[in-house]
A and B are shown apart, each in its own frame.
Chain A
Amino acid sequence: MSSREPAPWVTTSTVLQRLKSFDDQDAWQQFVRRFQRPIEAYARKRGLSESDAEDAAQEALAAFAQSFRDGGYERERGRLSRWLFGIVHHRIEQQRDRMARRAPADSVAWSQLEDQQSPDGVWTEIWERSMLEQCVAAARDELHGTTRRVFEMLVLEGRSVEDAMSETGLSRNAVYIAKHRALTRVRGLLADCDEVD
């Protein structure tokens, strides 16, 4: 869970539009903050060292930004995550080829289920988790008082409706309303991460 300081959510579309003006450092920071971590996590999963993963993420984002400025990304061509994946995967495989650093494998038991996931599946999993984390963090920052607490208790802590009622003093129906309001907001943020107008 992110513990970053509250910052207002800027839509991905806005970030990317601002990125088109070359010197918008702030937009670049926003952009990097949003997408660097999943790329790094993916790179680490593909066997890169921490610093190589960092480099790979920087390179991929730079390549992405460049290509976005050049008009290479069109909404019709699919979701942002897929498009980014194309660039990221390419960069990382190159890096992997060069660096070829991986932890030695276990030499005794060879389980069937390990290492069978496709790069694509790994990426999707990491991407979705990272976006979930960021959106949940952003939603918590936005929500206030009892709504926020209900969201935390019911969804993040797995507590019961009754617990939430007694802690917040809300009615049963109000607890449900608060929960769904929070969930709807998270959904909106999630959609924004991956869809660019």
Chain B
Amino acid sequence: MRRASDCPPLEELERFVISALDLDSSAWIEAHRRGCATCKDRLAEMTRNHALERRLRQTFDARPDSQRLAIPEFRILRELGRGGMGVVFEAEQENPRRRVALKLLRCSRFSDERSRALFRREIEALARLAHPCIATIFSSGETAEGEPYLAMELVAGAPLTEHVRSEQPDLRRRIALFARIAEAVQHAHQRGVIHRDLKPSNVLVSAGGEPKVLDFGLAKILDEERVPGESQSVAGGLRGTLAYMSPEQTRGDPQAIDARTDVYSLGVMLYELVSGRPPYDVAQRDLLAAVRVIQESEPAAPSRFEREANTDLDAIVLKALAKDASARYSSAAALAEDLARWLAGDIVLARAPSGAYVLRKLIARHRLAFAFAATVVAMLAGSATWMTVLYKRTDGLRIDAESAGLLATEQRGLAEQRLVQQQEETRKNYWTVQFLSYVFGQAQLSKAGPKTLLGEVVVEAGRELDRRSDHPPAIAAAIGLVLARVEASLGSFAQAETRLRWCIAKLEQPGRAPDARDADFHQALFEVLRRLDRLDEAEAELSRAETLASLPSDDVELDRTRLQLISDRGRLALRRGDFSAANSALRAALEQQQARLGASHEDTLSTQTQLCIVLQDQGKLDEAEPFALAALEGYRELRGPQHPQTLNAQTNYAMLLLDRGRAEEARDLLAVTLEAQEREIGPEAESSMATRNNYAGALFRLGELEAALEAWREVATQQERVLGPNSLYTLVSRRNIAITLVRLLRSAEAEPIALDVVERAGAVFSESHHLCVRTKTTLGRIRIALKRYEEAEADLLDAWRVLESMQGINPAWKRECADTLAIMYELLQRPEDSAIWRARQVGEARPLRATLGRGTILRSPQGTHAKP
């Protein structure tokens, strides 16, 4: 028996600290400590030292993990593999004695909660599953260093691809093997676990030919709580390995991920197993191009590469690979069953698509054509009806074949029938028209494809309108307004302008008193002129619209117009670069729109978007963020995830991410947005070009300057063609080109571009427009680089004078100018002057070398509102 007065040796005390003593000895030391101040202090000291020792070991111990790691019960034998998230060892478990695969999360104790949460999720996912083709989990815990681990069944086997290469099984065997994999995936699905990262390297095939699905590290568990941060990330979709990702995964919509996502990945594996090649070659492409391939191209039939395959098998593989999740097998089991039928020589279900599916596909393919035909008919019929309401000519409704003569013969009956109905009915039609003009206004139809058809219809309708000079003027004008809005939505601003002026002339005929609803014509003209950057003329129209809208009227819709006009003031100010005015007008409009129209009304959302852009330009990112998110969520809710306006909001949110320095996220979100825009509205729509410009901005921020330059050149050429050389957006892109050239040390090339932008921006907007001023700063930098200091000084001082007088601008714009001046004087060895300019940088330590301000990055424009 030990005497209580004997102090234990240090070794024993240390083993007590690390809990490595048996219970009796521990109890004895516990008792001794109470009576011995020396040992009490020693223990306290050793406890702290032990924590440090662990940290030092972690930091400095150069031995391999297998020697360093001490996990009770397991003896590490060798490393099996290592990836971004962890290491897998082969280890021996003591009890029961067996070989296991030990997976360790490589995280220091500093790594954030998220990595651990994901690792815990993998453990939870595996714990739910018990299937011969899924590696079984044995236990999990933490190492002495606090790294979480899990021990699972050790699978001795080769990755699927390797197995097929070495064993050369025939097609039927490969299919049978694959069917087992699909069954295992089905088992996981039935327990609410979606794998999300199925690929051949995650399937090992044992020597006995049994496949084992591994690595649930990216799994989604359907009924569990979210891992923090997962769904907040809007861009967050691109996980897993691109080649096996489903179109919905590449779109980054976490809501769209379900069991059919795994069915798709299985489809890619099946394709490879059948044909010996991947369905798409995405390895050599950049991210954007690869995503596009996955979302758009149709793979070649696998039977082209494998003699034994036939069209039935083709049908199965391609059904699993369908772009649209609803066209795929609804479960992994359904896929496995169809494969079993094929193996048995039965008729496969993939060959018998349902009628609904065929119809859906047909409509999808001809969606735009269907929509145009339907809306053109209804719009032309309805707009005349609408005017009768508008101009209170419901009495008599003397609209006969003359006004209907505008319509094609087959629609005339429909039109006439509607026109003679009672006031209540016409009211209903009014709403129809409102809806239809919305469709045209919002669709932002591109210059390609069926749009040409629509353009022709509009032109034809316009000609007809001109021919019918005996048409009642108000009705002619109203039809003209609809046509003009369609033209504006097609980007034909010049035609829209001519048309609107013609309409206004019709309305202003002697003897007709101005009506409050005439405001719509001036508002539409304002919007067209604003887009054409003829801002003084635009402002005149806006004022006229405001005057008209203030006339007394009992039309309830007028309220909306009035609020929109407040918002329009803000838009105009934004285009002029007057951020303070834009900010206050938009806030005023937003407040009223929220109160009177509701938070999720499209006008409210649109104003919110504009306000967000203003705040970003003012450098107030914290204030901008809630508006950006609210607008994005609002549009998603209101219009769905692929709607042009939702996509605009998405671009704007990406710009906020970019301003926040989250360039990679921004780039990815812009890539998927652009892909969707090009599909939905065409590559030459204003919004698509804006997103492409912004995508280049993200590349720029990521340091991929050559790629950014090329992208900007492409988009500038396109903008010049579509929007004209004097459009704000064209000029912005060209300024970005100049900045990128400077960064690439090609200032001589940059100079003429910057000079031209300064001149055009000065002439189109004003000498004090931010684009003009900031480009002048750029020009100054270029001339410093070219060692033409006198010109540079003139440019920069000129820019500074204007910047100083501007209200509510982003402080960074002043800083970039002052910075440049300070650097220039330093180069000219005029330290006193340099110091003066440095002093202008409020709260800034001195920068040590010339740096370049980031490029102006274009935001997505909002679509013209086609309001009746």
Binding site for B on A (CB under 8 A): 1, 55, 58-60, 62-63, 66, 91, 93, 95-105, 107-118, 121, 124-125, 128-129, 132-133, 136, 155-158, 161, 172-173, 176-177, 179-180, 183-184, 186-187, 190
Contact = CB atoms under 8 A, between A and B. Distances in A.
A122 to B, nearest CB: 8
A124 B55 CA distance: 14
Nearest to B668: A110
A105 B702 CA distance: 9
Q: How many B residues are at the interface, by size bracket?
A: 35 or more
B854 A183 contact: no
Contact of B67 (A103, A117, A158, A161): A158
The 9 closest A-B pairs by CB, nearest first: A176-B10, A183-B49, A98-B851, A101-B703, A111-B84, A113-B85, A100-B701, A125-B110, A55-B848
A66 B67 CA distance: 48
B238 A110 contact: yes
A128 B58 CA distance: 12
Contact of A108 (B10, B11, B243, B853): B243
A116 B57 contact: no
Per DSSP, chain A at the interface is helix
Given A99-B851, A109-B241, A187-B52, A1 B60 contact: yes
26 contacts: A1-B60, A55-B847, A60-B845, A97-B854, A98-B854, A99-B851, A100-B700, A102-B703, A103-B703, A107-B285, A111-B85, A111-B239, A112-B85, A113-B118, A116-B229, A118-B112, A125-B110, A128-B110, A132-B59, A136-B56, A155-B57, A158-B61, A158-B63, A158-B67, A172-B9, A176-B14
B84 A114 contact: yes
B460 interface: no
B364 to A, nearest CB: 29
B45 interface: yes
Contacts of B140: none
Contacts of B49: 179-180, 183-184, 187
Given A59-B848, A125-B108, A187-B49, A105 B11 contact: no
Contacts of B849: 55
B242 interface: yes
A156 B56 contact: yes
A137 to B, nearest CB: 11
Contact of A110 (B115, B239, B702): B239
A129 B287 CA distance: 36
B232 interface: no
B664 A105 contact: yes
A174 to B, nearest CB: 9
Given A107-B290, A136-B56, A156-B60, A117 B704 contact: no
B240 interface: yes
A100 B53 CA distance: 39
A118 B112 CA distance: 8
Contact of B10 (A58, A104, A155, A180): A180
Nearest to A156: B60
Contacts of B664: 105, 115
A107 B776 CA distance: 37
Interface in B793-824: none
A102 B705 CA distance: 10
B179 to A, nearest CB: 27
Interface string B717-749: 000000000000000000000000000000000
Nearest to B812: A97
Contacts of B62: 157
A180 B704 CA distance: 52
Contacts, number: 139
A62 to B, nearest CB: 6
A134 to B, nearest CB: 12
Contacts of B111: 117, 121
B52 A186 contact: yes
Contacts of B702: 100, 102, 104-105
Interface string B10-42: 110010000000000000000000000000000
B362 interface: no
B85 A121 contact: no
Contacts of A172: 9, 11
Given A121-B112, A173-B9, A186-B52, A112 B703 contact: no
B48 interface: yes
B85 A176 contact: no
Nearest to A56: B848
B244 to A, nearest CB: 10
A116 B703 contact: no
B239 A183 contact: no
B794 to A, nearest CB: 24
Contacts of B704: 104
Contacts of A125: 108, 110
A164 to B, nearest CB: 12
B286 interface: yes
Nearest to B851: A98
B283 interface: yes
A132 B56 contact: yes
B689 interface: no
Contacts of A115: 664
Given A96-B661, A108-B242, A132-B56, A59 B63 contact: no
Nearest to A113: B85
A124 B229 contact: no
Contacts of A155: 53, 56-57, 60
A143 B212 CA distance: 55
A117 B112 contact: yes
B112 A98 contact: no
Which of A103, A110, A125, A177 counts the most B-chain CB atoms under 10 A from its CB?
A: A110
Contacts of A116: 112, 114-115, 229
B340 interface: no
Given A111-B85, A183-B52, A104 B112 contact: no
Given A93-B661, A102-B701, A117-B112, 17 more contacts: A1-B60, A59-B848, A91-B845, A98-B853, A101-B703, A102-B663, A108-B282, A112-B218, A118-B112, A124-B110, A125-B110, A136-B60, A155-B56, A173-B11, A177-B10, A186-B52, A187-B52
A117 B285 CA distance: 28
Nearest to A186: B52
Contacts of B703: 100-104
A180 B45 contact: yes
A140 to B, nearest CB: 11
B191 interface: no
Which of A102, A103, A177 counts the most B-chain CB atoms under 10 A from its CB?
A: A102
Interface string B195-212: 000000000000000000
Contacts of B240: 109-110
B112 A63 contact: no
A16 to B, nearest CB: 18
Contacts of B287: 107
B846 interface: yes
B468 interface: no
Contacts of B57: 155, 158
A121 B110 contact: yes
Which of A1, A109, A124, A161 counts the most B-chain CB atoms under 10 A from its CB?
A: A109
B540 to A, nearest CB: 40
A176 B11 contact: yes
Contacts of A157: 61-62
A162 B107 CA distance: 31
Which of A93, A107, A113 counts the most B-chain CB atoms under 10 A from its CB?
A: A113
B48 A187 contact: yes
Interface in B112-130: 112, 114-115, 118
Contacts of B217: 112
A3 B739 CA distance: 44
Interface in B77-100: 83-85
Contacts of B334: none
A121 B109 CA distance: 10
B43 to A, nearest CB: 11
Contacts of A107: 242, 285-287, 290
Contacts of B59: 129, 132-133
